[in-house]
Amino acid sequence: MAIFTGAGVALVTPFREDESVNYEKLSELIEEQIKKGTDALIICGTTGEASTLSHEEHVEVIDYAVKAVKGRIPVVAGTGSNCTETAVYLSKEAEKSGADGLLIVTPYYNKATQKGLITHYTMVAESVSLPIIMYNVPGRTGCNILPETAVTLAKNVKNIVGIKEATGNLSQVARLMALADGCIDLYSGNDDQIVPILSLGGKGVISVLSNVAPTQTHDICARFFDGDVEGSRKMQLDAIPLIDALFSEVNPIPVKEAMNLMGMQAGPLRRPLSPMEPQNKERLEKAMKAYGLL
């Protein structure tokens, strides 16, 4: 059974002005997501600025999120690293905290071979009992999980159950699903490709958009699964201008700006991320107003 079906929010990590983690605000954001229908919480991913959290903070944020959710929806913890030993450590800690699953990004910067990816994912998976979603985002990592590699892992490692596909390459995704023949759960890693991914057999999306439009993101998936493909498609297309604005600069710069514009007090970014450029902020505000968020 899939870890979750529908819209999982790749939640931001809110910071105070001194850039410490704002746990009170994190609790509020989690409550709001659950209230508005989000199907799963993905904590400490790219959008959560995990790469700038210390190991101690990383573990604490996951632990706090699990306790705040209280089992109401699945919690998927981002525990990937470009160091296999670090990924193992973070994964073990997330399991101790009670996470429902793990999201493991490909080792970034190292640019592992396909053989190296198989070794990396196998070692991480064998260190825990939690189900694992691989995260394929070569635009950030310089490393692509080929369909054959993903299927090899899913068929040979019992707790590698899914993949978050953020290549943007629908041809690759189609080939993956043809080779997988049902052995792997597919999630869209791009908000502008939710419906196309669902049409190829996807289980849902791990979404940046859901930070500001949780109900709408949930409904895109729910309508599709309910058979209202036309309604789902229309919602997907209606959201495209906002999605484009949310990715006009590197994530999570725009989505944190959007949340702050909405009074959600997500706080500042941690360096090396920098505040949004004025022209892009103007574009974001315009898109948010058109979508009814402001």
The mean pLDDT of the chain is 97
- Reply yes or no on whether 135 is catalytic: yes
- Reply yes or no on whether 36 is catalytic: no
User: CB within 8 A of 202, min separation 6: which ones?
Assistant: 186, 187, 188, 194
CA–CA separation, 204 and 227 (whole Å): 14
210 vs 19, 84, 122, CA distance in Å? 23, 30, 31
CA–CA separation, 240 and 237 (whole Å): 5
pLDDT value at residue 227: 98
CA–CA separation, 208 and 53 (whole Å): 19
Kindly indicate the confidence band of residue 1, based on its pLDDT and cuts at 50, 70 and 90: confident
CATH architecture of structural domain 6-229: Alpha-Beta Barrel (3.20)
When pLDDT is averaged across residues 233-255 and rounded to a whole number, the result is: 98
Q: Among residues 164, 203, 256, 281, which one is catalytic?
A: 164
CA–CA separation, 258 and 211 (whole Å): 9
Q: Among residues 25, 89, 121, 135, which one is catalytic?
A: 135
CA–CA separation, 181 and 112 (whole Å): 26
Q: Name the residue ranges covered by the structural domains of the chain.
A: 6-229
When pLDDT is averaged across residues 138-151 and rounded to a whole number, the result is: 96
What confidence tens digit (pLDDT) does each residue in 69-91 have? 999 999 999 999 999 999 999 99
Handedness of CA 39, 121, 192, 11 (dihedral sign): positive
- pTM of the predicted model as reported, rounded to 2 decimal places: 0.96
